[in-house]
Amino acid sequence: MTQITIQTPDDWHLHFRDGDILNETVPATARCFQRAVVMPNLVPPVTNAAMVSAYKDRILAARPQGSTFEPIMTLYLTNDTSREDIIEAKAAGTLAAKLYPAGATTNSDAAVSALDSLFPIFEEMQKQGMLLLVHGEVTDHHIDIFDREKEFIDQNMIRIVSAFPDLKVVFEHITTQDAVEFVLAANDNVAATITPQHLLLNRNDLLVGGVRPHNYCLPVLKRNTHQQALRAVVATGNKKFFLGTDSAPHEKDKKENACGCAGCYSAWSAIELYTHVFDELGALDKLEGFASHHGADFYGLPRNTTSITLVKEDWTIPAEITLPNGNPIVPFFGGQTCSWKIKS
């Protein structure tokens, strides 16, 4: 197959950041995605309805002229989140709230350090029909970073799903066979997003031949056996798994330093790289479900009515991009060849 047309996809997990960088990140996503679930881990984080509305306005102002792209907004959960915060955010059109364990990833220091205290909030979310999006890693220093997803499942995810069976839960950017098995075994109100980097790479791509900071993300890349489990499950077309890039921009100098930031800026090539993966797997017939159907269905939103066409044609992802502030950023797979591209 050398050409494929699919309903316009959505990105069910990404980071736009804030300020001038929106003029880069929003158009990069809007070029091929109709909607995107926008993460709230700004500085300060987006913790109430007024902040959600203000952030959405800034995103809409950065859309290219004539674009119909729509951001799907989320609320940042903290130890101080109240039932009223949930009620007000839902009334303002916020569809989901994001659970970050404190210290798990970029700008998560203000996040949740006492999970059990949030159970009344989860109860209110279940009542309001607001989705819970979970960064599923424990942050205990004595637990190996490669085991933190499994430990979160054992310590927390099982309890949350058991206590709130009617709460829709998205296990974000899963990275392990353990997470795949958990989602498959859970009820139909549990789903997961999978990133391009976790389908394309494993920890060898981060560490062999020297540290490669532009492949550093959180959750960190795992061993090849886990990568293969992710690839195998998307190839089945299971409706519980859908596209979420976790596109997360950081300027080049913030990635290439002694404590490089975690995140892969994949918006420039995301749908093309997913297509590349599904082609490798002999599963191009499953791409549309993963990219365009499963997420919308799980969120209870209509599927998009437009379409995009991709052609099998080699192109080189830019090695660097210049941000509006003049600083360079290295996109995911920068300088490398992708075998699929959007037909102009």
Binding residues for substrate, by number, are: 15-17, 41, 135, 218, 250, 262
CA atoms within 13 A on the CB side of 52: 26
What sign does the CA torsion over 136, 223, 235, 280 have?
positive
Start-to-end CA span in the chain (Å): 18
**Could you give phi then psi for residue 243, rounded to 5 degrees?**
-75, 130
Q: Give the span between the Cα atoms of 78 and 71, in whole angstroms.
A: 22
Distance CA 79, CA 119 (A): 11
**Annotated binding residues:** 13, 15-17, 41, 98, 135, 173, 218, 246, 250, 262
Tokens of 229: 């489990």
Residues annotated within a binding site for Zn(2+): 13, 15, 98, 135, 173, 246
* Pairwise CA distance, residues 19 & 32, whole Å: 22
CA distance 331 to 333: 6
Confirm if 30 and 9 have CB atoms less than 8 A apart.
Answer: no
Q: Cβ distance 308 to 342 under 8 Å?
A: yes
In 3D space, the residue among 169, 171, 160 whose CA is nearest the CA of residue 198 turns out to be: 171
The count of C-alpha atoms lying within 13 angstroms of the C-alpha of 172, restricted to the half-sphere facing its C-beta, is 29
Q: Which amino acid is at 188?
A: D
DSSP-derived 3-state class of residue 112: strand
246 is catalytic: yes
User: What is the C-alpha to C-alpha distance for residues 181 and 163, in angstroms, rounded to an integer?
Assistant: 19
CA 214 to chain centre: 17
Catalytic residue among 11, 85, 178, 246: 246
Q: Catalytic positions, please?
A: 246
